[in-house]
Amino acid sequence: MQNQEIRTFGRRHGKKLSARKLWLMDNILPAISPKNIKKAGNLILEIGFGNGEHVRDLAHNYPDSLVVGAEPFANGVAALLSAMCDEKTNEILPEYKNIFIWPDDVRDYLRNTDSLFSQIWVLHPDPWPKARHEKRRLLSADFLTMLSTHLSRGGQIIIGTDHWEYFDWICEQIKTTKLKYSTPDLETIHTRYQEKNKAGTTAPKYIIIKK
């Protein structure tokens, strides 16, 4: 992360990782860095995947695409690795061989790649509800504009949040850019954070930005 950049995520480490998860972090994670993507193909990105349930859904639903997940929270990365790998052999399960993990700030990844994505997902970005933390919100006009430069033709950014004030704030941010967006009623996409529904709203709201 560049020094002048404001940190948009909370903690990087939670409770101590099990021996198996530590092994996966040391032995599997380096091999599935998106830096190792050589073949051309359809790319999908998920930013801030938490424990990675939706990354796995994407890998499953788009077996011919490569799915890149970015998440700086080590325990989330370890949880995804654990679910991707066979419990006995620790080998990556066949249905998850198209997953690549960037275990850090997505901005560091994006500024060093010219990859274009057909879908970029951001589900339940940290809402940073206190006014003094607003500057930590990831989905600013500048970030969304930069993100749109990584969309392939016809590609889309899909954002979901149950924090309706953040939802309105994101819409206001988009209005200050040249980006076109819609707010469709999508069926709820299930993630761990959505199930906790800390905001106490009745349903997440979605924003789609299309190139």
Catalytic sites, residue numbers:
126
| CA–CA separation, 152 and 119 (whole Å) | 8
Residue 3 CB, shortest distance to ligand SAM, in Å, is: 15
Determine the 3-state secondary structure of 150 from DSSP: coil
Compare residues 119 and 194 and give the one whose CB is closer to ligand SAM: 194
Residue 160 CB, shortest distance to ligand SAM, in Å, is: 8
Residue 195 CB, shortest distance to ligand SAM, in Å, is: 8
List residues near ligand SAM by CB under 6 A.
8-9, 47-50, 70-73, 76, 105-107, 123-126, 138, 191-194
Determine the 3-state secondary structure of 164 from DSSP: helix
The DSSP letter of residue 131 is G
Residue sitting closest to ligand SAM (CB): 48
**Burial class, 87, CB count within 10 angstroms (exposed 0-12 / middle 13-18 / buried 19+):** exposed
| CA–CA separation, 169 and 126 (whole Å) | 13
Compare residues 120 and 123 and give the one whose CB is closer to ligand SAM: 123
Q: Which phi and psi angles does 44 have, rounded to 5°?
A: -125, 140
